[in-house]
């Protein structure tokens, strides 16, 4: 079996990405990596035991429907908070931080959400 790099190895079924790598890839790829990240995070948050969200559908909606990304941030942040509570990790303010980060500097949204996911993993 092929070894996965440390920064993307799933820990407890998670999706761990180094924050510096995440931001650099988003910048270098002019935001294309962020769409891959949206797919992977949607896939990861389906583990919360709640409603299943098809990652491909959510990615396409974020790509083609204006302002859907804001809704995706809200719903996904709530799912991250649920997963944190289930695993006993304190992440109560992910939704607020993600929405504020979107308003202030949209590139900070993936960093805020990935930081919470890394804590879960």
The string of pLDDT tens digits covering residues 68-101 is 999 999 999 999 988 888 888 887 788 888 888 8
Work out the number of other CB atoms within 10 angstroms of the CB of residue 80.
27
Give the pLDDT of residue 9: 37
Sequence-distant (≥ 6) Cβ neighbours of residue 97 within 8 angstroms:
112
Give the pLDDT of residue 14: 65
Residue-by-residue pLDDT tens, the chain, 121 positions:
344 344 433 334 567 888 999 999 999 999 999 999 999 999 999 988 889 999 999 999 999 998 999 999 999 999 998 888 888 888 778 888 888 888 888 888 888 898 888 888 7
- Return mean pLDDT, the chain: 84
Q: What is d(CA 49, CA 79) in angstroms, rounded to the nearest whole number?
A: 9
Give the pLDDT of residue 7: 41
DSSP alpha helix (H) spans, the chain: 19-28, 32-45, 55-64, 68-87, 94-104, 108-120
């Amino acid at each position: 079996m092929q070894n996965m790099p440390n920064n993307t190895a799933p820990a407890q079924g998670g999706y761990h990405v180094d924050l510096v790598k995440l931001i650099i890839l988003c910048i270098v790829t002019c935001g294309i990596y962020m769409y891959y990240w949206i797919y992977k995070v949607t896939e990861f948050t389906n583990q919360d035991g709640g409603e299943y969200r098809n990652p491909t559908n959510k990615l396409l909606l974020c790509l083609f429907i204006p302002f859907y990304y804001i809704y995706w941030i809200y719903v996904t942040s709530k799912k991250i908070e649920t997963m944190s509570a289930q695993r006993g990790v304190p992440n109560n303010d992910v939704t607020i931080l993600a929405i504020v980060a979107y308003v202030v500097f949209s590139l900070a949204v993936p960093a805020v959400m990935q930081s919470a996911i890394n804590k879960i993993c």
